Amino acid sequence: MSTEEACVVCGSNLDAEHRARCIYCGGVFHQPWSANAPVPTCGRIFAHADAQGLVFACLRCAQAMLEQRQR
């Protein structure tokens, strides 16, 4: 059994550092935390100016959420 975890968006392996968990599906995805990080950006981040909340969403869920918000 492999111990390596795959990104729920692009399917390639995740490293220990550049990752985040999606608030919607709970899956882990690539999230680069530095300018030269050798990983794609597989999610989006949302902030609430008043609540100072920070929310991570994988690209698939973020897209679905934004489409719903537009509707």
The residue ranges that bind other proteins (CB under 8 A) are 21-26, 32-35, 41, 44-51, 53-55, 61, 64-65, 68-69
Residue 18 Cβ vs other proteins, minimum distance, rounded to whole Å: 10
Structure tokens at 58: 């994988």
Residue 26 Cβ vs other proteins, minimum distance, rounded to whole Å: 4
Distance between CA atoms of residues 40 and 49, nearest Å: 27
Residue 45 Cβ vs other proteins, minimum distance, rounded to whole Å: 4
Distance between CA atoms of residues 55 and 64, nearest Å: 15
Residue 5 or 54 having the CB closest to other proteins: 54
Determine phi and psi for 20, rounding to 5 degrees: -155, 160
